[in-house]
Chain A
Amino acid sequence: MLRALTTLILCQFVGEVVARALGLPLPGPVLGLLLLLGLLVLRGGPDEAMRSTSTGLLRHLSLLFVPAGVGVVTQLDALAQDWVAVAGAILVSTALGLVVTGVVMQRLSR
């Protein structure tokens, strides 16, 4: 488990370094994801430790959103002022995004 976790963090680290060094507009973890994907392809798949560690981490993905979300307390004024714009934009744009992606995907993959 520790080795798999080291691999994950190492991929993120390399991703951060490359993104910053080359001035790429991509966040480090996304480059790290692509890097690990490349490694998995080369090795023909994850070993048991990597599979169980990543599954364990992803099972608790929801919890990881909490600390950033609590940051809402620093933005209560902006939210109180613009809540109509925020609610309208999020409701409608998320609905549109879901429908457009789902419909395009289903039509094209037939």
Chain B
Amino acid sequence: MTPGILWVYLESTPLLGLVSTLVAWQAAVACSRALGDRPATNPVLIAIALLAGLLLLTRTPYAAYFQGAQYIHFLLGPATVALAVPMHAALGGIRRSAHAILPAILAGAAVSAASAMLIARALGGSRTVILSLAPKSVTTPIAMGVAEGIGGNASLAAVFVLMTGLVGIALGPPLLRLVRVDDWRARGLAAGTAAHGLATARILLLNETAGAYGGLAIGLNGVITAVIVPPLARWLVG
């Protein structure tokens, strides 16, 4: 087989997208450790940069890459369901603080979505960009569905979700310290509400209670955002 024919073969199987994603992830994790595990060196960001660069360099269409990467992407569904386990573990505490949790998530969800749309509009963003920004604080599968439903773009929404997660990881700890939020339950809830699974995955490594509240917030905010964003978008963007 000549290299050309081999490449054509590999491009037609899902293996390439799968292998490149897993290898890029291992490289990104190693890279992130070597650079000292800071928010700017988040492995997700590094892996995406590596893979996006690879696709652009080899002129591989995203659809061809996704043919393989979809098997990893698919696991987001069962992983979302699995959040029920840490949520269940925190249920006792959650019941006791239900009077605080619901208003907090509702306020956070409304402020995130409304401010994102208003700021993007004020800064001259296109209608598609504004609408794709609205659900950026919730987990990827939900955000993609909501964005498409209101006239945004699903891919764009996925990218905004990711950027939001990275910003949440970077800003969360110093910002919450600044406003004197030192309760791990409140920190976890803020991470899950404003910056979904990415910030929750990070805070889960620091404190299990925070992780449980983050998981709860991802689930509840997913539900709340799916319900409030469509009318909010109609009202603010028209």
Q: Are A85 and B125 in contact (CB under 8 A)?
A: yes
Q: Is A78's CB within 8 Å of the partner chain B?
A: yes
Q: Are A75 and B226 in contact (CB under 8 A)?
A: no
Does A84 lie within 8 Å of B124, measured CB to CB?
yes
On chain A, the residues within 8 Å of B159 by CB distance are 68-69, 71-72, 75, 79
Q: How many chain-B residues does the 8 Å CB contact rule pick out? A: 114
Evaluate contact between A9 and B25: CB separation under 8 angstroms.
no
Interface size on A, as a range, is 35 or more
Residues from 198 to 216 in B contacting A, C-beta threshold 8 Å: 198, 200-201, 204, 215
The distance in angstroms between the C-alpha atoms of A35 and B24, with both chains bound, is: 35
Docked CA distance A91–B25 (Å) = 26
Residues B63-117 near A (CB distance < 8 A): 65-66, 69-70, 72-73, 75-89, 91, 97, 99-101, 103-105, 107-109, 111-113, 115-117
Assuming the contacts A95-B171, A106-B181, asked whether A62 and B219 have C-beta atoms less than 8 A apart, the reply is no
Which chain A residues (28-52) contact chain B, with CB distance < 8 Å? Answer: 28-30, 32-37, 40-41, 45-46, 50-51
Question: Do residues B126 and A27 form an inter-chain contact, with CB atoms below 8 A?
Answer: no
The 6 closest A-B pairs by CB, nearest first: A101-B108, A85-B125, A97-B194, A108-B100, A97-B112, A102-B190
Q: List 27 A-B pairs, Cβ < 8 Å.
A: A9-B77, A12-B81, A27-B142, A35-B81, A36-B81, A37-B87, A55-B85, A57-B82, A62-B42, A62-B197, A65-B76, A66-B48, A66-B72, A68-B144, A75-B155, A78-B126, A82-B126, A84-B123, A84-B124, A90-B133, A90-B136, A97-B108, A98-B175, A98-B194, A99-B179, A102-B176, A106-B186
The residues of A with any CB-CB pair to B shorter than 8 Å are: 5, 8-9, 11-12, 15, 25-30, 32-37, 40-41, 45-46, 50-51, 53-55, 57-58, 61-75, 78-79, 81-82, 84-86, 88-109
